[in-house]
Copies of this chain bind each other. A is one copy, B any other.
Amino acid sequence: MSGREKPLSVKRPLLLLDKDKCIRNIRFMAGKARKHNLLLRPHFKTHQSLITGEWFRDEGTDRITVSSMVMAHYFGTNGWDDICVAFPFNIHETDEAAALAAKIRLHLTVCSAETLRIIERSSIGEIGIYIKTDTGYNRTGVDWDDTGSIEEMLEIINRSSKLDFTGFMVHNGHTYHVRGHDEVERIHRESADRLCVLRKKFAERYGPFLISSGDTPSCSMSSGFEGIDEIRPGNYVFYDLTQLHIGACKPDDIAVALAVPVVAKHPGRNEIVVYGGAVHLSKESLLLEDGTRVWGQVAETDLSSWSDPVPGTWVTKVSQEHGVIRCSESFFKRTGPGDIIAILPVHSCLTADLMRGYTTTGGIRIDHLSGYQK
């Protein structure tokens, strides 16, 4: 799973991880949670790595979030004993949930009374339940103002000897579609206010329970967490261009970069082509303010570190293995076939999932669940 193998050269796309930046990011959020007296249950779906997980443990993390039962199994059988699966419970994975719940403190996420009843009747033993609540993102969860459905769910939990109400969970993914502190703060605040309504309404009868919120943009940028007990950010472990453009991080906080070889050069249009495409970076793109759609930004690298992003030098097209990079005049001049360059990913979670592992800038191989199964 790990081993020293200093990469003196890169033959094919390789996902570099800067451990110092990564640990700085982990510490930043641990410190912020302590400062605001918040429980921190970081989402491990970004890194999906046991070794990286230990860096969290070193900073005091003892409870985590994952987004699939497979991921829960990976961490639950490797030393983590308090895991929340923050994905609407898939009733086809009842056996897996039962097996894991027998060993660790497992929390399932539920959006309907129907699913709760299935869990109640199943072979799953004592289990924590988060009610997934929708305060405006509109992906999934029971609407925060549908208090009838929420009460029906709380009653099922209350009557059950094995279901334990952990709390209300919300994920405000719409913070990813705005830019800057004020817009992120507005979404974060509106959501927290709505959750406070639920707390007031249900605390006496069904409490104590947690209000669990906190995506990476709001956890990174906000300074107001009134009404929130627990945060579950994940992406901040690596950050990426999306977070940079939201304003949630600085260029120097981005802790992963895809090292790729240049394979062709096209004067006329100042473009280079690299071996590194959709099967490495993913097809996640970002729309720049000038209307250009990009799939990554270039940095220079000697593999032991990488530079600040090269201005005006972006991945402007990806196909399966090809990445096309539109370069600044000066970068184009100094770059040619055989050179290794780094690409800062638009969405580090997806790039990590595709690359299935990392190599630190110190030359250590780091695991990713998808190197084993999915």
Contacts and interface: CB of A to CB of B under 8 A. Distances in A.
A321 B68 contact: yes
Interface stretch (A51-59, A90-98, A250-258): A90-98
Tallying the copies of this chain within the complex gives: 2
A114 interface: yes
A337 B12 contact: no
A114 B282 CA distance: 30
A358 to B, nearest CB: 14
B279 A319 contact: no
A87 B284 contact: no
A114 to B, nearest CB: 6
A33 B139 CA distance: 47
A338 interface: yes
Nearest to A43: B320
Contact of A263 (B90, B324, B350, B356): B90
A340 to B, nearest CB: 8
Nearest to A262: B90
A338 B263 contact: no
Given A12-B93, A91-B261, 19 more contacts: A9-B92, A12-B92, A87-B263, A87-B321, A87-B322, A90-B263, A91-B337, A92-B261, A111-B264, A112-B264, A114-B337, A139-B273, A139-B319, A140-B264, A173-B319, A278-B350, A279-B370, A283-B283, A320-B349
6 contacts: A68-B321, A88-B263, A90-B261, A91-B261, A91-B338, A114-B337
Interface of A: 9-12, 45, 67-68, 70, 87-93, 96, 111-112, 114-115, 118, 138-141, 143, 173, 261, 263-266, 268-269, 273, 275, 278-279, 282-285, 317, 319-322, 324, 336-338, 349-350, 353-354, 356, 370, 374
